[in-house]
Amino acid sequence: MSNGFLPVCKKDMEEEGIDTLDFVYVSGDAYVDHPSFGPAIISRVLQSRGYSVGIISQPDWKDDKSITVLGKPRLGFLISGGNMDSMVNHYTVSKKKRTYDNYTPGGVMGKRPDRATIVYGNLIKKTYKDSPIIIGGIESSLRRLAHYDYWSDSFKRSILLDSGADMISYGMGERSIVEIADALNSGIDIKDISFIPGTVYKTSDISGVTDPIVLPSYEEMKADKLLYAKSFLIQYENTDFANGKSLIEEYPNKIFVVQNPPSAPLSTMEMDDIYALPYMRTYHPMYEKDGGVPAIKEIKFSITSNRGCFGGCSFCALTFHQGRTVQVRSHESIIKDAEDLTKEPDFKGYIHDVGGPTANFRHPSCEKQLKYGVCKNKQCLFPKPCSNLNADHSDYVALLRKLRAIPKVKKVFIRSGIRFDYLLCDKNDEFLRELVKYHVSGQLKVAPEHVSDSVLQLLGKPENAVYQKFVQKYEKMNKELGLKQFLVPYLMSSHPGSGLKEAVELAESVRDMGYMPEQVQDFYPTPSTISTVMYYTGIDPRTGKSVYVCKNPHEKAMQRALIQYRDPKNYDLVKEALIKAGRSDLIGFDEKCLIKPRQFKKADNKIKKGDRTGSKTNKNKKRK
């Protein structure tokens, strides 16, 4: 393209001499050609393999013609709801409509529909009945099999069926999308493409599926939540490329949804190749008139160094989407990105982040993983670090030193998550020392999430003593370096297992910290997490044990208010919560109390002098 972007209209196609595109990519986000955006990566990967791709961003789903602006593609349509799940993008955890969309020009809300992938899929099917449709991205990946839907409070079918699509490319789809494209290009009908790892397809004949695991049917799970919990555990244990099996889920009328095992993780060379593709690294110029796309501010001066996470937090869907095997870019690839950033006219000398899902994961958790895959029934860090864990930050330290040495770079921040339990496993304090000395700007954000060990167990997080050990070590390192920097803990209210008792315990911990945390998140039940399964079923799928679940909106408000008990507007909720939890001892004037009793207004409490005299006179008369 003359402007470097992929075609977004017929005029762009004409300038490129393209009569018919191979693929049309429909996205719920504005078109941002940056490797932090899934559609940009997938479309550039296809382009690098010789396929032409056009972009339809945020089409008007109420207008059938909006999907026809680039014509019918030769091989098929690709759909993504966007970088965020469209329902999370639209609604808060209390199901209130959000007013701002980071992924839309000018931050305007309402440019994509609810359940965008489903709406776009049916819109395309209505107009181009015989064109293959492949859906992907976070929205499709996490709904690839039957799942609980928080927003409708119902148990839903695979998104493959509701969207009218032919196939899902789940997870990080660079491998699978190329194989799909090559199969379609060779003349294979989309209905016959059933052999590609990292894909989900529908069929009426499962006789050709090799060594599958047959899950409970949709109807059985809809009728029995326990069966869904059991099914989810099987899914969770088959998210690895090396040991995952094909999964089959049956629907009425003998329709089967088949999930193939995941794609293999990318090698360092493959990661480097993907991040070296000719991205424009910004939003399309057509958005300038609207003020640009806000999301670019967060990522423009940040660098992705890894993907995948073996942290295993219960509330996180990374296991289902990126997998537990850590994949990394080379130092050379990352340094090239950093050097390019310094040439940007608005670069001020600060690299905002060098990381990924977890910044300090720069290699697989153990050597066995690369050959045998991750353990099915064992986590790397939870409940205790595995004896095979390779806790070593030396590669990350070396990378950060190289980045700091680049001319024009004043400071390199680390704003991705730091796993403090993993950091503590490293016998060498070199990374902690350099983190504190060079990569923190007054505050380091960490995510202990809670302090109650019973809740932390359900969260898949280390016990509170581990976090307290990190706090002491962090403070000691600051003291050694003559610095005064703070920890900012992310905390979560209303996670399954947390009742008012545990919420009060968390509030007491906040009291002892001496300040009110700004970051408090009510648990948000998004698809395909262990925590969401607990929320829906009341059962921990890992143990089969019952779990207390807070679903009452008023109790949820009380749990959240307790964490921010210092805020005057939370007083009534905090008082009610403390009384209900049997902790009225925390209402008073002692330094350990969370709130003070409310003072009566003087006017209400004052007894007029005349009344007082009259009262005494009457009493005296009675005595006589």
Domain ranges of the chain: 10-193, 292-586
Element (DSSP H or E) covering residue 500: helix 500-513
**Structure confidence at residue 394 (pLDDT):** 97
How much is the mean pLDDT over the chain? 94
- Sorting pLDDT into bands at 50, 70 and 90, what band is 600? low
Retrieve residue 434's tokens.
């350099």
**Structure confidence at residue 238 (pLDDT):** 95
Among 103-117, 250-264, 371-385, which is the least confidently predicted range? 371-385
What is the dotted CATH code of the domain comprising 292-586? 3.80.30.20
Q: Where are the alpha helices (DSSP H) in 99-217?
A: 116-127, 137-141, 159-163, 174-185
The mean pLDDT of 117-138, rounded to a whole number, is 97
Retrieve residue 298's tokens.
């967060």
The answer on pLDDT for 605 being more than 80 is no
Among 94-103, 313-322, 595-604, which is the least confidently predicted range? 595-604
**290-323 per-position pLDDT tens digit:** 999 999 998 999 999 999 999 999 999 998 999 9
pTM: predicted TM-score of the whole model, two decimal places: 0.93
- Sorting pLDDT into bands at 50, 70 and 90, what band is 623? very low
| CA pair distance 337, 506, nearest whole angstrom | 41
The answer on pLDDT for 615 being more than 60 is no
Give the SS3 label for residue 253.
Answer: helix
* Strand partners for 80: 27, 136
- Sorting pLDDT into bands at 50, 70 and 90, what band is 2? low
Burial of 176 (0-12, 13-18, 19+ CB in 10 A): buried
Q: What is the DSSP letter of 417?
A: B
Give, to the nearest 10 degrees, the angle between helix 530-537 and helix 225-236.
170
Do residues 306 and 329 make contact, with C-beta atoms less than 8 angstroms apart?
yes
Does the domain spanning 10-193 belong to CATH 3.40.50.300? no
